Amino acid sequence: MIPLRQVWPPECAARYRAAGYWRGETFTSFLRQRVREMPDHIAVVGGEARWTFVELEARAERIARGLLALGFQPGDRVVVQLPNIPEFLSVVFGLFRARLVPVYALPAHRQIEIAHFARTAEARGYIVAQNHDGFDYRTLAQQVTAEVPAVEHVVVVGEGGDFPSLDTLPSGEGVVLPEDADPSEVAFLQISGGSTGLSKLIPRTHDDYIYSFRASAEICQLSPDSVYLAALPVAHNFPMSSPGVFGALYAGSRIVLAPSPSPEAAFPLIARERVTITGLVPPLALLWLQAAPTTTHDLSSLQVLQVGGAKFLPESARRVRPVLGCTLQQVFGMAEGLVNYTRLDDPDEIIVETQGRPISDADEVLILDDAGHPVPEGEAGNLLTRGPYTIRAYHNNDGANARAFTPDGYYRTGDVVKRTPEGYLVVQGRASDHINRAGEKISAEEIEDHLLGHPSVFDAAVVSLPDAFLGERSCAFIIAQGEKPKAAALKAWMRTRGLADFKVPDQIVFVDAFETTAVGKVSRKELRANLRRRFLEQE
Ligand code: J2J
C-alpha cells in the first residue's frame, strides 16, 4: 500500500508539530481514547439507534473486518454516499480502522458526479444507503459499476438486492486489522465546491483535519454535556468538521442525526434530545426563524446556532438571538481548509456584521488586489490562505493545482473579503464564477457544458442571480438553434443527465446573441458578468 500524501514543506510540518497543532492522533486513536474515557456515554443518536462510544467502536471494527474479508486492501479508496444515519459514523470509522480511504459524496449526487469521483480517486468500492428521500441508490450503484468497472465492490446499508449489505458482510474472523495509520497520511478525500468544471478531490490528513475539528470544538466550547445536531447532510465539510460530528465526538459530546434540516424534522429532535448546538445554511436559518415563534416544541436547550456556507445578511443575523434565544455563530469555511468563526463571547456587532476570524494563529491570510499586491487595510481584495489545515494540492489534478495554489503554497480561495481592524473577515463576494445556491456550490462551466449537449442549444452562459430565499439562484442564458425548446423541457432534460438536482438551472432566459467585442469574443467571465448586469438592470 502506498498511502496518499498531502505535502507541506518539512519546515512547516515541523513547526505545526512543535506548536502542538498536529499531535499525531488519528481517527482510530481518538475514538479509542473516548472509549477508554467514557465507554458508556451515548455518542450517536439517529432513528431508533442510541450507540455508546463502545458500541460505535465495536461496529466500526466489525465493518473493518468485513470489508477486508470482502476483498478490499488497505489503501483502497471507497466512495461513501450515505445520508444522516448512524451507519455513516460506523462505516467511516470502520474504513479508517481498515486503512481504507473514504471519498465523501453527498446524497444529492448522481451518476455523473459519482462516476467522476470514483474515476478520479481510482476507487474500488462504493457504499450507499438502500434508499433515501424516495431514491433507490442501488440503481445508481448499478449504473456506476457499469460505467466504472474498477468499482468492484458495492455495499448497501439496508437491503442489498444484488449487492452485499452491511449487515451480511463476511464476519472477517481471523482477519488481522492493519496497524493504525501514520497521522500524516491522507485519511479521506473530501469534495470541493467545484468553482470551475467538475468537483475536485481534497486530500485531508489525520493530522490536519483533527486539528481543525479539535480547535473548532474548543472555539464552540463543546464538552461531554453538549449535544450537536447534524441537520445538514453530514458529508458536507461544515457539519462534518466545523466542529460538526467529528469535533463533537472528539469533545465527548453526543451527536444527533436529523433526517432532514426542516423545522418539522429538527425541532422535535432538539426538544427530545436537549440539543445545544447545530449548524445551518442561511436559507434554512431563515426557515427556522420563521417557524420558531409558533412551534410547540421546546427549543430552550439550544445555546448556539451556527450559520455558514453562504453569506448570512446582517438583517437576518440580528434576528437570531431575539427569536431563538441563542447565540449566533457565523462560520465562513471551505473544504480546502481555512475556517473562520465569530467567537461565542464576541460583541453583537461582530457576530452580526462579520463572518468571523480564522481558527488558528498559524492561519496565514493575504488579501490581494488583482495584480497580486496587498490591498490597503480595510479594503476588499482576493483572499489567499495557507496554514496547518489548508491543503497544498488537490488529488490528481495538475491543472487545478497550477491555478489554485501560488508557488509558495497559498490557496486562492476565490473569495473577495475585507478585514476589520479586529482581524475579522467580511465576505464581499467572489472572484470565481460559481453559484452559491443555498450553500451548494455550482460551477457555471459544468452546467454550460451540459446545456451545450442539447441539440437545440447553440450557446449557454450560466450566472448567479440574487434570490431572496436561496441567496443566489442559477440562471442559464441560452441562444437556441433551430426550434427554441421550452424552458421546462430543457430543465426536464437536464434532470435526465444524471446530475445532482441542485445543478438544474432555476431559471432559463433565451437571448438572440451574446455580445462580442471589436477584438473578438469576450471572455466567458466578462460575458457572464455582462449578461447578469443587463438582466438585473432590466428587472
Ligand atoms: C459567505 N460565503 C461563505 C460564509 C462559506 C464551514 C462552513 C462552510 C463551509 C463551506 C465549510 C461562507 N459567508 N459564511 O467547509 O467547514 C463560501 C465561500 C467559500 C465556499 C466554500 C466549513 N461560508 N462560504 O461552505 O467548500 O465562497 O465549504 O470559499 O462547501 O463557500 O464552500 P465549501
Class of 434-538 in CATH: alpha beta
User: Would you say residue 518 has pLDDT above 70?
Assistant: no
Q: What is the mean pLDDT of residues 103-107?
A: 97
Three-state DSSP class for residue 261: coil
Residue 427 CA: nearest ligand 1 atom is 1
Q: Looking at residue 273, what is its pLDDT? A: 98
What is the predicted pLDDT for the residue at 524? 83
Q: Which residue has the cell 455513516?
A: 88
Q: What are phi and psi of 432, to 5 degrees?
A: -90, 160
- Provide the pLDDT for residue 415: 96
Q: If pLDDT is split at 50, 70 and 90, which confidence band does 1 have?
A: confident
pTM confidence score: 0.96
Of all helices (H) and strands (E), which one includes residue 69?
Answer: helix 53-70
Cβ neighbours for 236, distance < 8 A, ≥ 6 positions apart: 106, 309, 439
Band (pLDDT 50/70/90 cuts) for residue 25 is very high
How far, in Å, from the CA of 310 to the mean position of ligand 1? 6
In which band, very low, low, confident or very high, does the pLDDT at 259 lie, cut at 50, 70 and 90? very high
pLDDT at residue 6 in the model: 84
Q: Whose CA is nearest to atom 16 of ligand 1?
A: 238
- Ligand 1 centroid vs 308 CA: distance in angstroms? 6
- What pLDDT digit, counting tens, does each position of 164-218 carry? 999 999 999 999 999 999 999 999 999 997 667 789 999 999 999 999 999 999 9
User: Which atom number of ligand 1 is nearest to the Cα of residue 244?
Assistant: 16
Q: pLDDT tier at 2 (50, 70, 90 boundaries)?
A: confident
- So what's the pLDDT on residue 233? 97
User: What average pLDDT does range 362-388 have in this prediction?
Assistant: 97
pLDDT of residue 85: 98
- What's the pLDDT score for residue 516? 66
Residue 348 has pLDDT above 80, yes or no: yes
pLDDT of residue 525: 86
Closest-CA residue, ligand 1 atom 21, reads 334
From the CA of 148, how far away is ligand 1's center (Å)? Answer: 31
- The stretches of 275-328 forming alpha helices (DSSP H) are 282-291, 314-317, 320-324
Domain ranges of the chain: 434-538
Q: Which ligand 1 atom sits nearest the alpha carbon of residue 355?
A: 14
Confidence bin at 395 (pLDDT 50/70/90): very high
pLDDT of the residue at 455: 95
CA atoms within 13 A on the CB side of 534: 10
Measured from the CA of 440, which atom of ligand 1 is nearest?
30
Mean predicted confidence (pLDDT) in 505-520: 81
Q: Whose CA is nearest to atom 32 of ligand 1?
A: 334
Position 515 scores a pLDDT of: 75
What was the pLDDT predicted at 202? 98
Q: What is the mean pLDDT of residues 367-385?
A: 97
pLDDT at residue number 432? 79
Ligand 1 centroid distance, CA of 311 (Å):
9
pLDDT digits (tens, 9 = 90+) for 72-93: 999 999 999 999 999 999 999 9
Q: Across all residues in the chain, what is the average pLDDT?
A: 96
d(CA 309, ligand 1 centre) in Å:
4
Q: Looking at residue 195, what is its pLDDT? A: 67
CA of 418 to the centre of ligand 1 (A): 16
| Angle, alpha carbons 271-274-275 (nearest 5°) | 100
Atom of ligand 1 nearest to the CA of 331: 14
With 0-12 / 13-18 / 19 or more C-beta atoms within 10 angstroms meaning exposed / middle / buried, residue 54 is: middle
- SS3 of the chain: helix, strand, coil, percent, to 5: 35, 25, 40
Choice between 153 and 5, residue whose per-residue pLDDT is larger: 153
Is-contact 226 250, C-beta < 8 A?
A: no
- 299 pLDDT tier (thresholds 50, 70, 90): very high
Q: From the CA of 46, how far away is ligand 1's center (Å)? A: 26
Q: What is the pLDDT of residues 470-494, one digit of tens each?
A: 999 999 999 999 999 999 999 999 9
pLDDT for 45: 98
The Å distance, Cα 536 to ligand 1 centre, comes to 25
| Ligand 1 centre distance from Cα of residue 333 (Å) | 4
pLDDT value at position 194? Answer: 64
Reduce the secondary structure of 90-101 to three states and give it as a string: HHHHHHHHCCCE
Q: Which residues of 456-487 are buried (b: 16+ CB within 10 A; e: fewer)?
A: bbebbbbbbbebeebbbbbbbbbebeeeebee
- CA 315 to ligand 1 centroid distance, Å: 20
Residue 240 CA, closest ligand 1 atom number: 16
Residue closest via CA to ligand 1's atom 20 equals 334
Pocket test for ligand 1, best of 228, 245, 311, 332 (most atoms within 8 A of CB): 332
Look at residue 422 and tell me whether its pLDDT is greater than 90: yes
- Residue 519, pLDDT above cutoff 60: no
Who's near 60: CB < 8 A, 6+ residues apart?
31, 89, 90, 93, 94, 96, 97
Ligand 1 interacting residues, C-beta cut-off 6 A: 193, 237-238, 241-242, 308-311, 330-335, 339, 355, 413, 415, 427, 430, 436, 439, 441
pLDDT at residue 433 greater than cutoff 90: no
Q: State the closest ligand 1 atom to the C-alpha of 307, by its place in the atom list counted from 1.
A: 14
CA distance 295 to 353: 28
What average pLDDT does the segment 144-158 reach? 98
Cα of 441 from ligand 1 centre, angstroms = 9
Task: Give pLDDT, residue 430.
Answer: 85
> Ligand 1 center to residue 73 CA distance, Å?
34
Query: Which of 216, 228, 334, 472 gets mutated to test ligand 1 (max ligand atoms within 8 A of its CB)?
Result: 334
Q: What angle do CA 401, 404, 409 make, to 5 degrees?
A: 80
